[in-house]
Structure formats: structure tokens, C-alpha cells
Amino acid sequence: MNRVDNLNHILDILKDSECLAFLGAGAGSEFNDFKGNNVPGLPRGAQLAKTLAEQCNSPQNLNGDLAKTAEYFLFKKGGDRQILVNAVRDEILKPGCEPRPIHYALAQLKPVKIVITTNYDRMMEEAAQKYRKLIWHFYDRFSSQNARFDHPPSLKDDEVVVYKMHGTVEKPESMVITESDYIFYLAHIYDRERGIPDFFRKTWLPYCTLLFLGYSLEDFDFKVIWEGMLSDYRLYNPNKKAFALVKDMDDYKIDFWRDRNIKVIKYDLTDFSRDLALHFKLDIPQLDIKQGIAGGRA
């Protein structure tokens, strides 16, 4: 499909049902602003793994795997997690890494009630609180109260929920980084105290259209979501709608994911944000789109 067809397809998604967006590392990548200037972004998993590997002389056979590299880093640093946390935090909090156009677009789209992100950064929250009442929740590795999220089942148009399923840089010790962290996370994903709150798992996930943004579909984070968090819903609701926007992908991989009930749409996130802004009259300052009317439905 061309860009117009892609947009129309997304508009149909937003019109037909409430949408739950999953936001991956690609959402924080570099982009070109309205002047054509390149705006640096946050490192993706493989880049962050490379940085950690250089600091601990990691074996090359870890092949850019962040979880495995972080595990080795922790081993080489004598198990001192604070050193690992500081190294990751330094990369995330680099100067100039502000919300991207996609964060501003999601923050204003009323059909998008919930954004679940595997990112540690605060880009989504910073954008969301400019336009709607931000309701925030994050997973904490050490908390036995992760599943406690007291909010009425319904959400108002002026509310948006951001759930950080792998922790947040604001509380660095909460972050899911190493392979052991991921194993622990998956082992407790349905735990009534340590797992995903029922607000997401039972109230919204079964009934929303899912939109994946910023994932390569080969990312470990995506596999955790698709094979762990969503496996039950796919089993009992094989016709559940799920869509993923990717910049590019081979046709055979698109066919592969279509057989697994994910419709892959080739769409650059900055182009997607621009097109949404023009259609819904959204405010995207990085693209010099200032229309002053936030929200809207198709």
C-alpha cells in the first residue's frame, strides 16, 4: 500500500474501536525536523548492548543481545547492579533527547486510551501531560505491589494511561535489563501481586485493537509481549486485531506475521505522525505543525 492507503487503513482502525498502543525503542530514534535537521535519538537495544560490551570486554558471540550483554556486564562488575544501572541511565538521559513526533501524536489522539511501553525514558509521559491528564504506572522489579492499580474501568477523553512494563529511568532500580530480570518478569507476569494489573490484562487488553509502534518484530521486547503477555488472548481470540508499523520489512516476513494475526504496515513513524497531525489537527512542534486543536476522532 502507498502512504495514503496506509493512513486510511490506520484511520479505520482508530474509528472502529478503542486502541491500545505498544511503544518500542524505535519510537525514540533519530528523525528529521521541519527544517531537515537531524535530531539525535536514544540508542536502540543493539546499540546499548554495544556500549555495555565495550565497558566490560563482552564476548562477541553475544551478538548485540542487550539482556545477555547486561547479564555479562553485571558478572564482570562483581554483581554491582548500580554500575549497570548508571551505565544504562547515562545513555538514556543524554542531553537533547526530547519527545519525538510520535509521542506528541499519541498524546493527543482520543481513541488511544492507553500506551504500554517497554522503554525506560520519559518521552511519552512528557508529551502526554501537555495535552491530557496523565495516569502513570510502572513495573518495579522489587515491588510486591506491581499489580495494584486502582482506577475505574472506563477512561475519559481527557485521560491517557502510560504503563511502563519494564520499569522507568526515574526509578533506575526498577528497570528490567538483564536476562535474569526478563526471566523473573515472565515468571510473575500473571501473578496477582507482582504481575500485570488487571486494569490492563483483563479490562482493556482483550477488547482493544493493538497497535505496535517502534518494534522490529524481531526485538526481544516484542517477543516478550507477543509470546508472554498476549499469548492467552491470541489463543482464545484468534481474530483479535493487531497491527504493527515498520519502516521496512521483507514480504516473506510480512506473510509470516500475517499468519500470526499481525497486519504489518510499512510506515515511517515520523511520516505517520505528520499524517495524523494533518488529519486530526494535532500539534506537532518538532514538525512545525501548530494547529491548536488537540484530540479528535476519525
pLDDT per position as a tens digit, 193-249: 888 898 998 888 888 888 999 998 888 788 888 877 777 666 656 667 789 999 889
Identify whether 233 is part of a domain: yes
Residue 163: predicted pLDDT = 96
Residue 210 DSSP SS3: strand
pLDDT-derived band of residue 57, with 50, 70 and 90 as boundaries?
A: confident
Q: Are 62 and 167 in a shared domain? A: no
Residue 9: predicted pLDDT = 75
Domain count across the chain: 2
Q: Are 124 and 272 in a shared domain? A: yes
Contact 179, 143 (CB under 8 A): no
pLDDT-derived band of residue 12, with 50, 70 and 90 as boundaries?
A: confident
Identify whether 81 is part of a domain: yes
* Full domain range(s) for residue 256: 3-35+99-282
- Would you say how long the chain is, in residues? 298
Mean pLDDT of 29-47: 87
Among 151-155, 180-184, 198-202, 234-238, which stretch is predicted with the lowest mean pLDDT?
234-238
Q: Are 80 and 164 in a shared domain? A: no
Residue 234: predicted pLDDT = 65
Q: Which residues, listed in sequence order, are joined to residue 284 by a DSSP beta bridge?
A: 289
Which DSSP letter does residue 191 get?
-
C-alpha of 188 from chain center: 20
Identify whether 218 is part of a domain: yes
Q: Which residues of 146-175 are buried (b: 16+ CB within 10 A; e: fewer)?
A: bbebeeeeebeeebbbbbbbbbbbeebebb
